């Protein structure tokens, strides 16, 4: 169809998250005052799934070889299946969406790998502003498997958040709702989203 | 501000007519509740709306006109504009929809201060340059969020500010039945209240408007969610009719019962003390209170009261049916007789084990060397107690079966009663362990306090009761002499008393754990909101945490259309909000305080019964 909403995605920039993994940003403009931003993280990689499954089953076979108890094998299977189901249903976020509708509100939703969506809608009357905040992020990286040392690094990261008004005091900020918590995009991606949101907030 | 129009889905295909609804002040939004069809007499319409306004308490007005022309019905534009003069409003909406097209159009006519009508175009033009860029990184998503297909461009022209319109579609029946959380108690100020609670409140309170269906011979013909015919269920109606006499009867019985319980005969001090200790009596009084709440003949108007009543009723019902199941299982094949037969031998077995334990303590337990004389005294003292206890049990053994048979019937009142009964029977059967624990604890406590006081004397200090601190003190020589002697005696007797105390405390803790588990499960059955949970699982739209919006695919030149769905409450919030407050059993002391008490030998009562909270 030739008359679609305007989609902007990827253009020349590739976005990454704070750990360096590639993510993608899609902006959709449904109308002059309604825009939708979707940040998608990397999918579950087949390599990691296979590595994890092989590790579990190998250890199960070794234990079975030692103890000669078949319950070990069936419990390994059950653990693998349950673990995978829990991971894709509760842990792995596929994409996060921000839908901003001028003078109505902002809707934030996370969609998990199993298809489950958890949505939250904040009315415009409660929103004070959308800003980019700084935070200190504690990152633990294993420097080298040979050295086997864990180094704690602190990095400064930026995150987009919504400031909510305090009902009793219109000038004060009562709470902060951070956005894109699982995908954690970098500043270039956040700035794009921020500018778009501010355009709409300024209009209404 | 953008104009927001909440439009019910049931009116999407309605014939042309007038829009009836409410303007929400301060938010520039309108909630459309129904469509009144042609032909109508304006005077009758005004009268009907006035009547509905009084009945429902909602500020209903005619919002505008709706036109969905069928074949051969074109050219209604001027007719529709003339309608606005009949119903004078500040703003007059003209919504229109063409057959075969999905999108709506909206014209808004405002009245300027002189009373003249100004037409403002709210049509949006198509932006020719809408290019659909490719999506990066992933394939097309599934249809639910975007409604499949592409959404149309709503560009805006550079010249001049145009007001905008959003159409928000909602499902009228679901919004009417739903309850937004967190629930506000009291009447909120309409100026500061946010938009969504006002929308929900409007639809909910307009229930009288939805009574007329299209088969009625009323003054007006309307379309709303019930216009195909009123919903009803014959079972629900029958139950409603039957409930009033049943409620009155139950209330009368309950008042009799409560007056009997609070009569003077049963209110003497020892009876009150016993009944406060027995968990069965506590549970009985608690359930009576519950039944009084449920069976009160007044209808519950507030959502909270209704949910409380429903939760209590369902949990009582489930409790009683589980109890009846248990009773039928136990009384079949005379299992209760078998249980009674094993009760006395079980008590015997416990007594024998205790005797062996005491013999072990009187010897050299775990290789420790006890003080012979004290050991023998304590051992014989406890052995004699056990002997007495066993004699009493054997005295009662012929009656045990009969007592158990009749008392077991009270499990018909519910599974919670059966569990409380079990807890009480355990308490009665292990009464000797409780006594031993008290003796051991008191002895140990005295030893420890004596030792600490004499230790202070040993160092030349004294506890000042007035100042609540340790002061130095000069003792006489004979005071010091006797004090040191007593201190030595107590110190060397300490291992023996400590060992007895330890053993009996452990036994007591085992019993307390078992009773605690039973009490926790009783509490769980009492307080878990089964009705609310069932509602959340099967009619999730009734308990709403908020809403979620979905952009609907539209055609060019039409305003933005959104679909408003209900976001159901999270399961954990359901349990937290609708939990029936109970006499919850929780540990009185923290772990640290408990350990301190155990070390000092103070008596512990780990489970505290709270009285029921009243909110």
Tell me the pLDDT tens digit for each residue of B534-572. 999 999 999 999 999 999 876 677 788 899 999 999 999
Instruction: Tell me, yes or no, if A30 comes closer than 8 A to chain B by beta carbon.
Output: yes
B129 vs B306, more confident: B306
Please work out, in degrees rounded to the nearest 5, the angle formed at the alpha carbon of residue B333 by the alpha carbons of B328 and B337. Answer: 95
Helical (H) or strand (E) element with B173: helix B172-177
Cα separation of B144 and B171, whole Å? 17
Q: For tokens 């000669």, what's the residue?
A: A68
Cα separation of B206 and B23, whole Å? 14
For residue B52, give the nearest of B224, B225, B176, B208 by alpha carbon: B208
Above 70 in pLDDT, residue B117? no
Catalogue the E-assigned strands of B183-226.
222-223
- Please compute the mean of the pLDDT values over residues B153-165 and round it to a whole number: 42
Cα separation of B116 and B93, whole Å? 16
Above 60 in pLDDT, residue B611? no
Give the closest-approach CA distance of A15 to chain B in angstroms: 11
Count of CB atoms situated within 10 Å of the CB of B208: 15
* Nearest Cβ partner for B133 among A7, A99, A204: A7
pLDDT at B134 (0 to 100)? 32
b/e A192-201 (16+ beta carbons within 10 angstroms → b):
bbbebbeebb
CB contact under 8 A, A32 and B155: yes
Distances (CA, A) of B289 to A96, B273, B303: 49, 20, 20
DSSP category for residue B365: G
pLDDT at B136 (0 to 100)? 31
Distances (CA, A) of A100 to A37, A124, B544, B554: 8, 10, 21, 18
A34 contacts in chain B (CB < 8 Å): 154, 166, 551, 560
How long is chain B?
615
Count CA within 13 A, CB hemisphere, residue B478.
0
For residues B410 and B284, the answer to whether their CB atoms sit within 8 Å is: no
CA B434 from centre of chain: 37
Cα separation of B73 and B96, whole Å? 13
CB contact under 8 A, A30 and B135: no
For residues A109 and A118, the answer to whether their CB atoms sit within 8 Å is: yes
Above 70 in pLDDT, residue B104? yes
**pLDDT-based confidence at A148, cuts 50/70/90?**
very low
And the tokens for A184? 């954690």
Pick among B1, B2, B182 to test the A interface (most A CBs inside 10 A): B2
Pick among A23, A32, A189 to test the B interface (most B CBs inside 10 A): A32
The residue in chain A having the minimum alpha-carbon distance to the alpha carbon of residue B161 is: A203
> What is the greatest pairwise CA distance in chain A?
71
Helical (H) or strand (E) element with B412: none
CB contact under 8 A, B132 and A2: yes
Q: At what angle do helices B477-527 and B372-409 cross, to 10 degrees?
A: 20
Cα separation of B179 and A37, whole Å? 30
Q: For tokens 């209330």, what's the residue?
A: B251
B515 vs B189, more confident: B515
Give the closest-approach CA distance of B283 to chain A in angstroms: 40
Count CA within 13 A, CB hemisphere, residue B53.
13
Give the closest-approach CA distance of A194 to chain B in angstroms: 20
* Nearest Cβ partner for A5 among B126, B151, B548: B151
Cα separation of B115 and B113, whole Å? 5
Per-residue model confidence as pLDDT tens digits over A54-78: 999 999 999 999 988 888 899 999 9
* Nearest Cβ partner for B134 among A1, A9, A28: A9
For residue B414, give the nearest of B320, B325, B328 by alpha carbon: B320
Cα separation of B359 and A66, whole Å? 45
Give the closest-approach CA distance of B545 to chain A in angstroms: 9
Above 70 in pLDDT, residue B122? no
Give the closest-approach CA distance of B177 to chain A in angstroms: 20
Phi, psi of B137 (to 5 degrees): 90, -25
B interface with A, Cβ–Cβ < 8 A, is 1-2, 4, 28, 124, 126, 130-138, 142, 145, 149-156, 164, 166, 168, 192, 194-196, 546-549, 551, 556, 559-560, 562, 567
pLDDT at B320 (0 to 100)? 92
For residue B352, give the nearest of B319, B314, B321, B390 by alpha carbon: B390
CB-based contacts of B516: which residues, under 8 Å, 6+ apart? Answer: B585, B606, B607
For residue A90, give the nearest of A109, A108, A117 by alpha carbon: A117
Could you tell me the pTM of the whole model?
0.80
Instruction: Tell me, yes or no, if A40 comes closer than 8 A to chain B by beta carbon.
Output: yes
Helical (H) or strand (E) element with A45: none
Count CA within 13 A, CB hemisphere, residue B461.
11
CB contact under 8 A, A4 and B153: yes
For residues B405 and B391, the answer to whether their CB atoms sit within 8 Å is: no
pLDDT at B11 (0 to 100)? 86
Three-class DSSP category at B4: strand
Per-residue model confidence as pLDDT tens digits over B246-272: 888 888 888 888 888 888 776 777 777
Give the closest-approach CA distance of B562 to chain A in angstroms: 10
* Nearest Cβ partner for A33 among B2, B194, B548: B2
For residue B165, give the nearest of B106, B244, B247 by alpha carbon: B106
For residue B165, give the nearest of B91, B115, B113 by alpha carbon: B91
Q: What is the ipTM of this complex?
A: 0.82
The residue in chain B having the minimum alpha-carbon distance to the alpha carbon of residue A34 is: B560
Instruction: Tell me, yes or no, if A42 comes closer than 8 A to chain B by beta carbon.
Output: no
Above 80 in pLDDT, residue B73? no
pLDDT at B148 (0 to 100)? 31
């Amino acid at each position: 169809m030739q008359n679609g909403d305007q989609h902007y995605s990827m253009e020349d920039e590739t976005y990454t998250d704070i750990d360096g993994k590639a993510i993608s940003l899609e902006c959709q403009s449904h109308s002059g005052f309604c825009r939708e931003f979707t940040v998608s993280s990397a999918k579950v990689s087949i390599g990691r799934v296979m590595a994890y499954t092989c590790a579990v089953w190998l250890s199960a076979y070794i234990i079975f070889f030692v103890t000669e108890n078949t319950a070990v094998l069936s419990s390994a299977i059950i653990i693998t299946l349950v673990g995978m189901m829990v991971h894709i249903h509760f842990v792995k976020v596929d994409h996060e969406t921000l839908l901003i509708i001028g003078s109505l509100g902002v809707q934030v939703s996370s969609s998990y790998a199993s298809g489950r969506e958890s949505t939250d809608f904040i009315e415009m009357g409660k929103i004070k502003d959308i800003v980019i905040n700084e935070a200190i992020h504690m990152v633990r990286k294993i420097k080298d498997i040979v050295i086997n040392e864990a180094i704690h690094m602190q990095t400064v990261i930026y995150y987009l958040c919504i400031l909510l008004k305090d009902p009793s005091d219109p000038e004060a900020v009562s709470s902060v709702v951070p956005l894109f918590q699982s995908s954690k995009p970098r500043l270039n991606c956040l700035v794009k989203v921020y500018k778009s949101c501010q355009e709409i907030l300024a209009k209404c | 501000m953008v104009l927001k129009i909440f439009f019910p889905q049931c009116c999407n295909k309605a014939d042309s007519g007038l829009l009836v609804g409410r303007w929400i002040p301060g938010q520039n939004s309108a909630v459309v509740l129904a469509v009144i069809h042609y032909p109508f007499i304006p005077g009758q319409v005004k009268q009907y709306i006035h009547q509905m306004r009084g009945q429902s308490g909602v500020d209903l007005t005619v919002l505008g006109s709706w036109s969905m022309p069928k074949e051969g019905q074109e050219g209604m534009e001027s007719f529709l504009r003339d309608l606005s003069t009949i119903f004078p409003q500040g703003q007059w909406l003209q919504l229109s929809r063409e057959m075969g097209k999905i999108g709506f159009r909206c014209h808004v006519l405002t009245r300027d201060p002189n009373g003249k009508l100004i037409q403002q175009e709210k049509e949006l033009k198509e932006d020719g340059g809408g290019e659909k860029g490719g999506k990066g990184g992933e394939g097309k998503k599934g249809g639910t969020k975007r409604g499949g297909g592409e959404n149309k461009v709503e560009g805006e022209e550079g010249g001049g500010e145009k007001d905008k319109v959003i159409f928000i579609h909602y499902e009228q029946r679901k919004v009417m039945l739903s309850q937004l959380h967190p629930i506000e108690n009291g009447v909120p100020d309409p100026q500061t209240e946010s938009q969504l609670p006002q929308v929900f409140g409007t639809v909910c309170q307009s229930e009288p408007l939805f009574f007329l269906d299209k088969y009625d011979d009323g003054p007006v013909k309307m379309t709303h969610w019930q216009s195909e015919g009123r919903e009803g269920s014959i079972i629900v109606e029958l139950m409603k009719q039957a409930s009033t006499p049943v409620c009155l009867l139950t209330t009368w019985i309950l008042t009799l019962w409560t007056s009997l319980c609070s009569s003077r005969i049963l209110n003497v001090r020892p009876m009150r003390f016993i009944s406060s200790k027995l968990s069965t009596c506590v549970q009985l009084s608690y359930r009576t209170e519950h039944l009084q709440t449920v069976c009160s003949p007044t209808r519950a108007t507030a959502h909270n009261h209704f949910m409380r009543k429903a939760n209590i009723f369902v949990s009582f019902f489930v409790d009683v049916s589980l109890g009846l199941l248990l009773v039928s299982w136990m009384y079949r094949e005379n299992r209760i007789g078998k249980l009674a037969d094993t009760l006395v031998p079980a008590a015997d077995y416990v007594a024998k084990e205790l005797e062996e334990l005491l013999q072990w303590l009187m010897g050299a337990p775990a290789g420790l060397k006890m003080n012979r004389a004290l050991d023998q005294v304590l051992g014989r003292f406890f052995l004699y107690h056990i002997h007495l206890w066993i004699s009493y049990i054997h005295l009662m053994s012929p009656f045990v079966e009969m007592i158990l048979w009749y008392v077991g019937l009270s499990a018909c009142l519910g599974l919670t009663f059966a569990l409380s009964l079990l807890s009480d029977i355990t308490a009665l059967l292990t009464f000797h362990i409780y006594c031993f624990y008290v003796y051991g604890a008191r002895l140990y406590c005295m030893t420890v306090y004596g030792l600490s006081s004499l230790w202070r004397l040993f160092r030349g200090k004294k506890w000042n009761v007035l100042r609540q601190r340790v002061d130095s003190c000069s003792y006489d020589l004979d005071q010091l002499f006797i004090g040191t002697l007593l201190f030595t005696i107590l110190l060397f007797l300490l291992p023996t008393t400590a060992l007895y105390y330890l053993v009996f405390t452990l036994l007591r803790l085992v019993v307390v754990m078992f009773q605690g588990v039973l009490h926790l499960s009783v509490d769980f059955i009492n307080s878990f909101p089964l009705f609310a949970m069932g509602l959340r699982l099967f009619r999730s739209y009734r308990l709403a945490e908020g809403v979620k919006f979905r952009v609907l695919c539209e055609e060019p030149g039409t305003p933005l259309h959104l679909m408003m769905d209900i976001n159901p409450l999270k399961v954990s919030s359901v349990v937290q909000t609708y939990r029936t407050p109970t006499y919850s059993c929780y540990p009185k002391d923290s772990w640290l305080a408990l350990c301190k008490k155990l070390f000092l030998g103070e008596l512990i009562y780990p489970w505290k019964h709270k009285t029921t909270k009243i909110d």
